[in-house]
């Protein structure tokens, strides 16, 4: 079973990831993971924190000479900002707990609910872990999954398709084309016109002291049919993908394939008819299902979209209540991103990669990459030949 845990506070020393269940013999380097960490830091609309951080992974265990050992992989990403928070975030008795105490909960954040749940006086105790800084550890895990999938010829491409009211038609093409066009845009949107309009929208929001959300799309190519399962609710891959994507801070809606648009379509235009040719095997000419039927991959690309709400910390703060005085106040503000949809897109790719990798390991198993690939290729051959 493939699993991972993360630890770390936003202004603590570091973020940590421990991955268990990756087979031995997977080529993996820190540089490869760092590429994804860099992409997550990018995207127009990020705030002052990203000028402090320069996320780099340190591989602490589970990899030797560039190859995984089958043992737990421990990854560490240091917080540069820790230097500015040493006294306040110090785990020892010398911590200056009375400094920069936050008692004004921000609407849209875990601040109020978290303080009530854990009986905290200082809301910092909530926001330090509720912060999306944690997603650096998830992107590190996702990069390992992505590397694993590459070995099976499974690749991912993410793109931003909406920021505020600016919409783009999702780009079509090979995953490499979509990726390179998206990465060339400051907001990871392959359409140059829409990309420029999105940047302008973010600038306008920033000037107004406001923030913006949007929509991103992640596609997975080269997926064999048969990943996931229809036999039990918690093994359905659609459900697992939705949970993983919804768990990204700020994500409020997830759809697969045509998703919410299906509500207004008749059945005759909502599904994907089935064809067969000796060369292609079974195939579809549409992919309205987004590659998943009955919680199982059907051989078409997986298409997942997610909506991110606007960033809740506002320079022109919303109304709140001071939890110490119970008086009406403006919500807390120190600094914040104006828009993090491009970063969320990279995080989306990471969590989707993780779920697909986990589903591959469940189906094909193996302690080594060689064993896994052998089983994967045997299965693909059977499917291609139309054998049962
Ligand atoms: C990459 C990324 C960056 C974010 N940056 C900020 C930020 O600077 N300020 C903020 O208030 N929220 C930010 N958020 C959103 C909050 O973390 C999120 O809204 C909050 O934790 C509440 O969770 P929920 O929106 O899922 O309910 C960011 C989210 C992501 C994914
Ligand atoms: C640090 C990151 O994102 C942070 C996510 C975040 C939040 O509330 O979610 C709040 C901000 O933190 P800070 O107040 O330190 O600027 C963001 O910068 C990151 O993505 O690396």
Atom of ligand 1 nearest to the CA of 337: 8
* Close Cβ partners of 164 (under 8 Å, ≥ 6 residues apart): 198, 201, 202, 205, 212, 213, 214, 339
Which of 9, 82, 127, 131 should be mutated for ligand 2, with most atoms under 8 A from CB?
Answer: 131
Regarding an ipTM greater than 0.95, the answer is: yes
Model confidence pTM above 0.95 = yes
Q: Where are the domains of the chain?
A: 3-385
| DSSP class of 65 | T
pLDDT tens figures, 98-148 = 999 999 999 999 999 999 999 999 999 999 999 999 999 999 999 999 999
Question: How far, in Å, from the CA of 145 to the mean position of ligand 1?
Answer: 24
The whole-number pLDDT of residue 328 equals 98
**CB of 53 closer than 6 angstroms to any ligand 2 atom:** yes
The whole-number pLDDT of residue 211 equals 98
Which of 36, 49, 80, 106 should be mutated for ligand 2, with most atoms under 8 A from CB?
Answer: 49
**Mutual angle of helices 135-151 and 30-41, in 10-degree steps:** 130
* Close Cβ partners of 331 (under 8 Å, ≥ 6 residues apart): 104, 105, 106, 107, 313, 314, 317, 318, 319, 320
* Close Cβ partners of 60 (under 8 Å, ≥ 6 residues apart): 74, 75, 76
pLDDT tens figures, 2-32 = 999 999 999 999 999 999 999 999 999 999 9
pLDDT tens figures, 64-98 = 999 999 999 999 999 999 999 999 999 999 999 99
Mean pLDDT of 233-261: 98
Fold of 3-385: Chorismate synthase, AroC fold (3.60.150)
- Token pair, residue 20, equals 């268990």
Q: Name the percent of the chain lying above pLDDT 70.
A: 100
């Amino acid at each position: 079973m493939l699993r991972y845990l993360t630890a770390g506070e936003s202004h603590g020393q570091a973020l940590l990831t421990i991955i268990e269940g990756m087979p031995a013999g997977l080529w993996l380097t820190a540089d490869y993971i760092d590429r994804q960490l860099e992409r997550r830091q990018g995207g127009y609309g990020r705030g002052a924190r990203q000028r402090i951080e320069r996320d780099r992974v340190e591989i602490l265990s589970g990899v030797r000479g560039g190859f995984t050992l089958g043992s737990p992989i421990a990854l560490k990403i240091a917080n540069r900002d820790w230097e500015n928070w040493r006294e306040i975030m110090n785990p020892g008795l010398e911590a200056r707990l009375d400094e920069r105490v936050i008692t004004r909960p921000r609407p849209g954040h875990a601040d109020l609910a978290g303080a009530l749940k854990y009986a905290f006086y200082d809301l910092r105790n909530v926001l330090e872990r509720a912060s999306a800084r944690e997603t650096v550890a998830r992107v590190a895990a996702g990069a390992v999954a992505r590397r694993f999938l590459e070995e099976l010829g499974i690749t991912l491409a993410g793109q931003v398709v909406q920021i505020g009211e600016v919409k783009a038609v999702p780009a079509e093409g090979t995953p490499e084309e979509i990726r390179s066009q998206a990465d060339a845009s400051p907001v990871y949107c392959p359409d140059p016109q829409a990309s420029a309009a999105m940047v302008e929208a973010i600038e306008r929001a920033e000037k107004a002291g406001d923030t913006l959300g949007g929509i991103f799309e992640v596609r997975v190519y080269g997926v064999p049919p048969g990943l996931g399962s229809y036999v039990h609710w918690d093994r359905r891959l659609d459900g697992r993908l939705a949970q993983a994507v919804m768990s990204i801070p700020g994500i409020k809606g997830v759809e697969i394939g045509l998703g919410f648009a299906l509500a207004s379509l008749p059945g005759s235009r909502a599904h994907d008819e089935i064809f067969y040719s000796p060369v292609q095997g079974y195939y579809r000419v549409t992919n309205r299902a987004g590659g998943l039927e009955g919680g199982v991959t059907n051989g078409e690309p997986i298409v997942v979209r997610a909506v991110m709400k606007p960033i809740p910390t506002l320079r022109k703060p919303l109304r709140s209540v001071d939890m110490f005085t119970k008086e009406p106040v403006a919500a807390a503000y120190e600094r914040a991103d104006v828009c993090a949809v491009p970063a969320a897109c990279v995080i989306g790719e990471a969590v989707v990669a993780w779920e697909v990798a986990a589903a591959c390991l469940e189906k094909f198993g193996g302690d080594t990459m060689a064993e896994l690939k052998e089983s994967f290729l045997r299965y693909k051959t059977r499917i291609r030949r139309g054998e049962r």
